[in-house]
Chains A and B, each alone.
Chain A
Amino acid sequence: MKVLVVEDEKGLAESITDYMNKEGYLCETAGTFREADERIYLYQYDCVIVDLTLPDGDGFQLIQTLKKLLATTGVIIISARNALEDKIRGLEIGSDDYLTKPFHLSELNARVKSLIRRRNFGGHTEIRFREIRVNPSSRKVYVNGQLAVLSRKEYDLLLYFLSNIDVVLTKVSIAEHLWGDNIDSADSLDMVYSHIKNLRRKLLEKGGSDYVSSVYGIGYKFGEP
C-alpha cells in the first residue's frame, strides 16, 4: 500500500509518515505543490492525503489532476479550513474524506484504513484480529465464531481499536471518533469509559481475551496483552 502525504508543515508530515509506516504502509511525503504534482505523475498511490493550502498551489487542483490520472486513488483532505463549501467542493471533485486540523493521527489512520478497505475490496472483506472477526458490510462481530451483539457505538469503538492496534488512543480521540467534534468532553470521557467497559465485557463473554488496556489515564490501547 502506497500513501502520499502532501503537507507543507514538515513536522506534521513527518508525524503522519511515521504513523503510517508503523501501520505497514509505504509512505512518501511532498512538501510543495510542484513536488506533489511530479510524484503523482511518476508513481501510483493507493491513497493521497492532501493539505488544501500549499505554499505554491491549491490542493483542489492537485486532486483534480490526480483523479484524471488514476481515479481509483483514495483522497483524504486535511485542511485548517473548516468550511462547508470546501468540504462539498472536495467531495464534488472526487475526494473521499475531509479532516479538519487539528486532527488525531489515529483518526486519520482509521479513515485511511476504511477508505482502502472500501476501495480495494468494496468493503467485502473481513477484519481479523486473533479470535475476533468483523464483517464491515453487515456490521457483525464474531468472537470465536460466535456472534457478539454490539451496540452501534460499541461496534464503532471496536473498529476504531482494530484500525489502531497496539497504539495508545487518547480518550478525547475516541470520544470525537464516536460522537464528532461537538461533543462536550467532560461527559463524553465518562461515556467512553462505560462503552469500553461494555465492549470488554461483551468480548469476554464470548470467550475472547481482554485486549484493551488503560494507559495511565490518558487513553486506551488495544493489542496483545
Chain B
Amino acid sequence: MKLLAKTNRIYLAFSLAIYLFAGLAFYQVVRILIYNEVETRLKVEKRDFEAYLKQHKAWSDTTYFVENKIDVVPVGRQTRLSETFIDTLIQNRYDQELMPFRQLTFYVPIKGVMHRVSIRKSLIQSYQLIEVITVTMAACLGLLLLGTFWFQGKLSGRLWLPFYESLSRIKRFNLASATPLQLDKPEINEFRELNEVLRKMGDKMQQDYRSLKEFTENASHEIQTPLALINAKVEQLIQSEKLTETQTRWIEEIYQASRRMARLNQGLLLLAKIDNQQFTDNQAVDLAALLAEKLGAMDEVLHHKRIAVKIGNLVPFAIQLPPALADSLVTNLVNNAIKHNHAEGRVELRSDGKNLSLGNTGHALVSNPERLFERFKKEGSGPDSVGLGLAIIKEICDTYGLEVQYDENNGWHRFGISRKVNEE
C-alpha cells in the first residue's frame, strides 16, 4: 500500500469518527437547549395558570382557545402531586397528523377538587429547528472534511515528492555504471539528510564494487607472472639429465598444476573483463559461420576422436559482439562439444537465423543441468578441465543480449543460442 493511501485511509476513518461524534453531541446539545427553553415557558404558563386560578377561583377553557394547549381534568383521588415533563404525540385536529408536544403535568385543587392540569407546547418548530441546524452542520462538516481531505492529499503529495523522486532515482541506479547516484537537495531537512546518506552509501557501494572488480583483475594479472616463473623454472629443471623417473613425474605434476592454474586464471580474468564490460568494440559477426569455421579448424581433433560433423541448414546468425568474445564463445562451444563427446560420436550444427544450435552425442549428464552454467561446475573431474567454459559462454550471452539453453535428449546434448526477447 502506498504511504499516501495509507495516511489517507487512517485520516478518513478518524475524521469520520470525529464527525459522527461531533454531530451527535451537537444534536444533543441543541435538543437540551430547546427542551430547556420549552420547559421554562411551560413553567411560566403554569405560574400564569395559578395566578388566574387565584384571581378567579375557577377555570374556564375558553380562556385558551388554542387547541390542545391545556387540559384540565378532575381526578378523584389525590394520586401524585409531583409535576412531570413528558413528550407526547397529539393528533392534529384537521389532518389527523400526530404532532410532537412537550407536556407539563401538575395537580391543583380547584374548588376543593383535585385537578390534573396538563399544559402543552408544540415541539414542531423546535424539531424543524433541530433538523435545519443538523443539516447545515452536516453540510458544513462534510465540506470541511472533504476540503481537508483534498488539501491533505495535495499537501502530502507535494511534501513527499522529493522522497518519490529519490526513490525512482535509486531504482534506476546501476552499481556497475560509472555515473554516481545523483540526488536532489530538497528543502526539507529529513529528506535532505536521507539523500545525503543515500548518496554516500551509493558512492561507497560503487567504490567497493569497483575495487572488488579491480582486485579480481589485478590479482589475476599478478598471478600470471609467478606462473610464468614456475613454468620457466620447470622447463629449465627438466633439461637436467640427472633426474630420476619419480622426480620427473613430480615435476610433470607441478607443471600440469601450473598450466591448469594459468588456464583457470585466464578464464576468471576473461569473466571479470566481460563483467566489467571492457570489451566495447562491438561488430556484426555471423556466429553460425564462425562456428562452422571453428569446427573446420578443429578438424584434426575431430578426426582424432573420430567424431563426425554434420552441418545442417546454416542460415546466418548475425549479432553484435566484440570479435574477441565471439571467438571465445565459439571456441568454448566447440571445445565443449568435443570434450564431452565419446569416440565415434557426432556433432551437429544448425541455424535457422533465429536459433543456433550445436549438439553433440555424449554420456548422460551426471550433474544437475540447471547448474551446468555455474562457475567451476565440472562434469567429471578431468585434470584438463577447469570448469569455466560454460560459465564464459553464459556470461557472454547474458551480457550481449543472447540466451543460451541446454537440453539433453536421447544421448544428444544440445546448446541453443537465441536472441533474448526484449523484456521492455
Total number of B residues with any Cβ neighbor in A under 8 Å = 41
Q: Is A1 an interface residue (CB 8 A)?
A: no
Tell me, in angstroms, the Cα distance from A185 to B257 when the chains sit together.
Answer: 13
The residues of B that contact A82 with a CB separation of less than 8 Å are: 266, 269
- Contact assessment for B225 and A12 in the assembled complex, using a CB-CB cutoff below 8 Å: yes
- The segment from A33-41, A61-69, A99-107, A121-129 found at the interface with B is A99-107
Residue B128 lies at the interface, judged by CB distance under 8 Å to chain A: no
**Contact of B232 with A105 in the complex, beta carbons under 8 Å:** yes
Contacting pair B238 A170 (CB below 8 A): yes
| Interface pair A9/B338, CB less than 8 Å apart | no
By the criterion CB–CB under 8 Å, are B228 and A103 in contact? yes
Q: Which of B30-38, B61-69, B247-255 contacts A (4 or more CB under 8 A)?
A: B247-255
In chain A, residues 133-161, which have Cβ atoms closer than 8 Å to a Cβ of chain B? 153
Tell me, rounded to whole Å, the shortest Cβ–Cβ distance linking A7 to chain B: 9
CB closest residue in chain A, given B224: A80
Q: In the complex the two chains form, is A172's CB within 8 Å of B255's CB?
A: yes
Q: Which of A24-32, A111-119, A197-205, A211-219 lies on the face that meets chain B?
A: A211-219
A106-B235, A215-B238, A215-B248 are contacts. A84–B221 as well, Cβ < 8 Å? no
CA of A96 to CA of B256, assembled, Å: 29
Min CB distance B337 to A, Å, is 11
Asked if B99 is an interface residue, CB under 8 A from chain A, the answer is no
Mask of B242-283 contacts with A, CB within 8 angstroms, 1/0: 010100110110011011001000100100000000000000
User: Once bound together, how far apart are the Cα atoms of A46 and B382, in whole Å?
Assistant: 43
Residue-wise, chain A 63-91 has the 8 Å CB interface mask toward B (1 for contact) of 00000000000000010111010000000
22 contacts between A and B (CB under 8 A): A11-B229, A12-B232, A19-B232, A80-B221, A81-B221, A102-B224, A102-B228, A102-B230, A102-B231, A102-B262, A103-B231, A106-B235, A153-B300, A168-B238, A170-B235, A182-B331, A184-B384, A186-B382, A187-B301, A187-B305, A188-B301, A216-B249
Is A194 a contact partner of B304 (Cβ separation < 8 A)? yes
Question: Among the listed B226, B231, B301, which residue makes an inter-chain contact with A104, where contact means beta carbons less than 8 Å apart?
Answer: B231
User: Any chain A CB within 8 A of the CB of B418?
Assistant: no
A residues within 8 Å of B by Cβ? Answer: 9, 11-12, 15-16, 18-19, 53, 78, 80-82, 84, 100-106, 153, 167-168, 170, 172-173, 179, 182-188, 190-191, 194, 215-219
Instruction: List residues of chain A with CB within 8 A of the CB of B238.
Output: 168, 170, 215, 218-219
A172 to B14 alpha-carbon distance, docked (Å): 82
Check B228 against A9 for contact (C-beta < 8 Å): yes
For the complex, what is the distance from the CA of A11 to the CA of B228, rounded to whole Å? 10
A interface footprint on B7-50 (CB within 8 Å = 1, 0 otherwise):
00000000000000000000000000000000000000000000
Q: Which residue of B lies closest to A101 (CB)?
A: B228
- Most chain B CB within 10 A, of A19, A102, A105, A186, is at A102
- Answer yes or no: B366 CB below 8 A from chain A CBs: no
Select which of A101, A173, A194, A218 is within 8 A of B252 by beta carbon: A218
Q: Which residues of B contact A170 (CB under 8 A)?
A: 235, 238, 255
Write out the residue numbers on chain A whose beta carbons fall within 8 Å of the beta carbon of B251. Answer: 218
- A1 to chain B: closest CB distance in Å? 20
Question: 5 closest pairs, A vs B, by CB?
Answer: A15-B232, A80-B224, A102-B228, A101-B228, A216-B248
B233 at the interface (CB under 8 A from A): yes
Q: Contacting B232 at CB < 8 Å: which of A16, A179, A191, A215?
A: A16
CB distance from B20 to the nearest CB of A (A): 76
CA distance A103 to B227 in the complex (A): 9
Q: How far is the CA of A186 from the CA of B225 in the complex (A)?
A: 25
Pick from A19, A78, A184: contact of B236, CB below 8 A: A19
In the bound complex, CA of A101 to CA of B249 (Å): 24
Q: Taking the nearest CB of chain B, how far is it from the CB of A178, in angstroms?
A: 9
Query: Could you tell me if B324 and A84 are in contact, using CB atoms closer than 8 angstroms?
Result: yes
Residue in B224, B232, B248 whose CB lies within 8 Å of A218: B248
Q: Is the CB–CB distance between B255 and A191 below 8 Å?
A: no
The residue in chain B whose Cβ has the minimal distance to the Cβ of A189 is B384
Complex CA distance for A80 and B248, rounded to whole angstroms: 28
Q: How far is the CB of A29 from chain B (nearest CB, A)?
A: 13
Chain B min CB distance to A174 (Å): 12
CB distance from B385 to the nearest CB of A (A): 8
For A84, list chain B residues within 8 Å (CB): 323-324
Known: A81-B221, A170-B235, A170-B238. A218 touches B255 (CB 8 A): yes
Contact between chains at A11 and B231 (CB < 8 Å): no
- CA–CA, A218 and B339, complex, Å: 22
Are the CB atoms of A101 and B259 closer together than 8 Å?
Answer: no
Interface core residue of A53, A106, A184, A186 (most chain B CB under 10 Å) = A184
Whether a CB of chain A sits under 8 angstroms from the CB of B239 is yes
Q: Could you tell me the distance between the alpha carbons of A23 and B222 in the complex, rounded to whole angstroms? A: 29
**Contacting residues, chain A, for B258 (C-beta < 8 A):** 102
Q: Is the CB of B252 within 8 A of A12?
A: no
Distance in angstroms between the alpha carbons of A106 and B245 in the assembled complex: 22
Question: Is A191 a contact partner of B304 (Cβ separation < 8 A)?
Answer: yes
* Binary contact track B208-238/A, C-beta < 8 Å → 1, others 0: 0000000000000110111111111101101
Q: What is the CA–CA distance of A187 and B345 in the complex, to the nearest angstrom?
A: 15
The distance in angstroms between the C-alpha atoms of A172 and B382, with both chains bound, is: 16
Q: How far is the CB of B323 from chain A (nearest CB, A)?
A: 8
Q: How far is the CB of B415 from chain A (nearest CB, A)?
A: 17
Query: How far is the CB of B204 from the nearest CB of chain A, in Å?
Result: 29
A194 cross-chain contacts in B, Cβ below 8 A: 304
Q: Is A184 a contact of B248 with CB atoms below 8 Å?
A: no
Given contacts A80-B224, A102-B227, contact A15 B236 (CB under 8 A): yes
Residues of the A chain whose Cβ atoms lie less than 8 Å from the Cβ of B224: 80, 100-102
